[in-house]
A and B are shown apart, each in its own frame.
Chain A
Amino acid sequence: MSDHLTQQILDLDELLIHQFKENKELISAFDIPKVSALREKHIKDFVEKGFPDSSQENWRFTEVESILDQSFIHDLQPLLSNNNIEELFRCEVHNFDTEIISLLNGWYQGDDGSMHTSPEGVVYGSLRTAMKTYPELVDKYYGEIAHCMNNSFVSLNTAMVQDGVFIYVPDGVTFSKTLQIIKIIDRNENVFIQNRNLIILGRNSQLNLMHCDDSINHSTSLVNTVTEIFVGENAHFELYKLQNLNDMSGLINSTFIKQEANSTIKTNTLTFNCGMIRNNIEVALDGNGAHADVFGLYLMDKKQHVDNQIRILHNQPHCTSNELFKGILDDEASAVFNGYIYVARDAQKTNAYQNNNNIQLKPHATIHTMPFLEIYADDVKCSHGATIGQLDQEAMFYLRSRGISKANARLLLLYAFSADIIKHISIEALKTRIDDMVKKRLRGELSICEKCVLHCGSPEKEYHFEIDMSKI
């Protein structure tokens, strides 16, 4: 069943609230009691607040109204599709060993009512199945760190969500491969999708996760994803987010990470294409000696908009964090960066670094950057920086004087600028692939028509600059 939300009499938020009230039983059919209770709480919050608008400080520069004004279909049940996701989508990164979890139009594919278990003991599957097979884990963690402060999309998600991914890495387990979540949107109507992911890492465990958001057609979609990640003591977690949707689509991504003592995480948000992207990342350093690396790269053109809201909460002493976001803005694209480092009263010996660098290529590109620090402890080292500029004219001159064409020199400099982020990718095969993608993107060759960001062209062909390096 799909509920057409096309009546123009009601706004989208009212329609969604109406849909929730009418179909409560269907929506919460697989719930454990806690999840149902959260739905009630959050729908109230959403009724009260509605969608955020630009009068709110956190949404000042990101205009969601124009997307929300369109009509959307909000499915309450998966459509029976003839398309096999394996056919729609094949991942062809060489030497890149992944386990794939696929979601088509927001619904977990191949859910047979049981969870997968890898040889090492990593458990993964759909969230709705997890509520049946691991109710105690879901009960313990679900909704514990996702909050709707300044973001009623989280309320809407908590109230309406029906599917998503559940991953559990038990204590001491290292997942040798990379787990890859692939989200494909392939509908001819405009769809509004809610997804919820719950990822739990036990003590001394390790997981690499890749999260790809793709669309394979040109209709408008709006994806509202909430991800909660719990990183246990001494665990290590890496997250690569690839965002490559069509120019009409919107993506609201809210990621909450809670770190225990001595755990380390690395997140890398790579935004290549999307009409409107909002990434909320909140990392709570809740244990002594935890470390977080939060990186991001955004390459936007046309009228695209990207908004990265990064909150790093230093709640305990001896934690370190390193945050670096870089972006290249072309045409009339706009970017927002709001970094926020919070150091709690007793979080002494904190070392936090935050940096945002932007290159603006065209006169009508817009950049808003707000690197905030809020510090309540004295024995800390916190610094931040932000720059907005252009390509270094001297470097440009140097390259040109060596006989490199203007276009190539420009490309080389832009690539060098992006390389600061790419070099932090620790999976070698992925790094090579992303490297190629960035080169393609900078040349304007990467298009979302190709099925997947990792499936762009033939993997055999490596991309090189047409530069005679001997001249340099």
Chain B
Amino acid sequence: MEVNDNDTILEQVTQNEYKYGFYTDIESDMAPRGLSEETVRFISAKKDEPEWMLEFRLKAFRHWITMKEPEWAHIQYPKIDYQDIIYYSAPKRKKELSSLDEVDPELIDTFNKLGISLEEQKHLSGVAVDAVIDSVSVKTTFQDTLSKHGVIFCSFSEAVREYPELVKKYMGSVVPYTDNYFAALNSAVFSDGSFCFIPNGVRCPLELSTYFRINAANTGQFERTLIVAEAGSYVSYMEGCTAPMRDENQLHAAIVEIIAMDDAEVKYSTVQNWYPGNKEGKGGVYNFVTKRGLCKGKRSKISWTQVETGSAITWKYPSCVLMGDNSVGEFYSVAVTNNHQQADTGSKMIHIGKNTRSTIISKGISAGQSNNSYRGLVKILSGAVNSRNFSQCDSLLLGSKCGAHTFPYIETKNESSIVEHEATTSKISEDQLFYCNQRGIDTEKAIGLIVNGYAKEVLNKLPMEFAVEAQKLLSITLEGSVG
């Protein structure tokens, strides 16, 4: 096969424009630019928060100003001016909405362009969508079905109002505001997010889903998600993100906390497709996310699945703290970077309880001039006897100007545990391409086929509804090459 042919196709494949770049013109209610105690108070006041919430924010803010931005990640970006960001922007609402018809038609249109029309979702897929546009939860569906089972699924601000005891008890218990720079920032200025509580023994009847979108220019999005699964419960939670095309970099610093009690299982799936910047590396979202799950109870299980295709910069390490005996942590990830995208992502598995098990499967695909790093930690403490970890992180390189890196950290402090790590880095096999060509599959399609097969192990872990979207996203990255 002609090398040039390959190169051209690879080029085409990896230089696609972002398909979801549009901007919904909704009037925003904004906080003044910059960050100070006043901003924090403004946000808190805007949201009618109780005193304890404001206290929490202020504590976090005071801690944040003493911290330094972390520099250890394998990413490069111009210094962020935290005083040049608008920390709160909410679509203006005239009154409470009671039905879909009252939702801003432009907003509905936005969702339609994304292919996730609320009605469609509601009727066809049986998914409850808590749609978040620029920080305020606009519409929550299937509230009734869920409340029948005692499941609480609402926006974070609603939870602060309606279930203050639960929020007080669990907020910051997995990711304290002192955790890291971006977690402190989020704790100080978070705008909204989702709260989910599954009571004892309940198997959540629906797959819960939230679509986040970053909208108005120059607004940082600071989401906060809290999922509490009581003993013996089960929930599958899906988070999907797309952001419209914007020239200036947008900052996103979210926190996701999950708590799983005895025998509970939480499955958390993410498809992230934020604006990655243009071909020259201009614009794009900075995504600094702290996600952590605490397997607090015995035999509890937390599973993270992520498909990362967007954002100019991704800094994200969904983690599991395996505290309960026999608890299980899983991490499945596909991260695709192209053009000038940079991703530094991976997982942390902290084994504390006895007989804890964890699995990490990470597939990195880098194209264009992007850099894709896996960074992970497996830590087995001395009390975690008979623990087991298996990690596999593979990287696929498309094009000669990209980089693929692997930085695993493995620490064990007892003699009865087994940890295994393996990783490979290679380019698309010429043999495989040749085989496909020889069977009459053109190179474009062959690349798509191989990449999809490569990521299959992870895509299979996604819930049905998401798997379709994830494959769609992969095919956008590999435009025209997926059969």
Query: A residues bordering B, Cβ < 8 Å?
Result: 57, 345, 348, 360-390
Contact = CB atoms under 8 A, between A and B. Distances in A.
Contacts of B395: 373, 375
B399 A378 contact: yes
Contacts of A372: 405-408
B385 to A, nearest CB: 8
Q: What 9 pairs across the A-B complex have the smallest Cβ distances?
A: A378-B397, A373-B406, A382-B425, A383-B424, A388-B419, A386-B421, A385-B422, A389-B418, A378-B427
B416 interface: yes
B48 interface: no
Interface in B406-459: 406-427
A455 to B, nearest CB: 33
Nearest to A387: B420
Q: Most chain-B Cβ atoms within 10 A of its Cβ — which of A366, A372, A373?
A: A373
Nearest to A342: B405
B403 interface: yes
A348 B397 CA distance: 12
Contacts of A386: 408, 410, 419-422
A375 B406 CA distance: 9
B402 interface: yes
Contacts of A384: 406, 421-423
Given A345-B400, A375-B397, A375-B405, 19 more contacts: A348-B400, A364-B382, A364-B413, A369-B410, A369-B421, A370-B409, A371-B421, A372-B406, A374-B74, A374-B405, A379-B400, A380-B427, A383-B422, A383-B423, A383-B424, A386-B408, A389-B418, A389-B419, A389-B420
B401 interface: yes
Interface string B388-406: 0000000101111111111
A376 B400 CA distance: 7
Given A360-B414, A374-B405, A378-B402, A385 B419 contact: no
A381 to B, nearest CB: 6
B72 interface: yes
Contact of A381 (B74, B410, B415, B426): B426
A365 B425 contact: no
B408 A370 contact: yes
Contacts of A371: 406, 408, 421, 423
A360 B412 contact: yes
Nearest to A372: B407
Task: Provide the main secondary structure of the chain B interface.
Answer: strand
Nearest to B423: A384
B292 to A, nearest CB: 21
Contacts of B411: 366-369
A389 B404 CA distance: 28
A361 B415 contact: yes
A390 B416 contact: yes
Contacts of B412: 360, 366-367, 388
Contact of B425 (A363, A370, A380): A380
26 contacts: A360-B415, A361-B415, A362-B415, A364-B382, A366-B412, A371-B406, A371-B408, A371-B421, A372-B405, A374-B406, A375-B395, A375-B397, A375-B403, A375-B405, A376-B403, A377-B397, A378-B397, A378-B399, A378-B402, A379-B427, A382-B426, A385-B423, A387-B420, A388-B418, A389-B420, A390-B415
A183 to B, nearest CB: 32
Contacts of A381: 424-426
B410 A368 contact: yes
Nearest to A383: B424
A372 B408 CA distance: 6
A136 to B, nearest CB: 40
Contacts of A362: 415
A384 B395 CA distance: 12
Contacts of B422: 383-386
Nearest to B396: A378
A372 B414 CA distance: 23
Contacts of A387: 418-421
Nearest to B394: A383
Contacts of A380: 397, 425-427
B76 to A, nearest CB: 14
A373 B427 contact: no
A378 B398 contact: yes
A278 B401 CA distance: 35
Contacts of B72: 57
A215 B410 CA distance: 32
Given A373-B405, A378-B427, A382-B426, A366 B413 contact: yes
A363 B354 CA distance: 14
Contacts of B402: 376, 378
Contact of B410 (A363, A370, A373, A390): A370
Contacts of A370: 407-410
Contacts of A376: 402-403
A368 B419 CA distance: 11
Contacts of B425: 373, 375, 380-383
Nearest to B10: A378
Given A364-B382, A367-B410, A368-B410, A373 B423 contact: yes
Contacts of A361: 415
Contacts of A363: 382, 414-416
A363 B387 CA distance: 13
A388 B408 CA distance: 13
Contact of B415 (A365, A383, A385): A365
A374 B372 CA distance: 10
Contact of A378 (B400, B416, B421, B424): B400
Contacts of B413: 364-366
Nearest to A61: B411
Contacts of A367: 410-412
Nearest to A369: B410
Contacts of A348: 400
B10 to A, nearest CB: 9
Interface in B362-390: 382
Interface in B296-321: none
A313 to B, nearest CB: 14
A345 B427 contact: no
Contacts of B406: 371-374, 384
Contacts of A365: 413, 415
A348 B418 CA distance: 35
A363 B382 CA distance: 7
Contact of B404 (A57, A375, A390): A375
A366 B410 CA distance: 10
Interface in B23-78: 72, 74
Contacts of B415: 360-363, 365, 390
Given A378-B402, A387-B421, A368 B382 contact: no
A345 B402 CA distance: 8
A334 to B, nearest CB: 9
Nearest to B372: A375
Contacts of B427: 378-380
A324 to B, nearest CB: 14
Nearest to B426: A381
Nearest to B421: A386
A363 B416 CA distance: 8
A18 B188 CA distance: 48
Nearest to B428: A378
B402 to A, nearest CB: 7
Nearest to A361: B415
A71 to B, nearest CB: 32
A379 B400 CA distance: 8
Contacts of A360: 412, 414-415
A21 B136 CA distance: 65
Nearest to A337: B410
Nearest to B377: A370
Nearest to A371: B408
| Residue in B382, B410, B416 whose Cβ sees the most chain A Cβ within 10 Å | B410
Contacts of A57: 72
A390 B405 CA distance: 29
A368 B380 CA distance: 10
Nearest to A355: B422
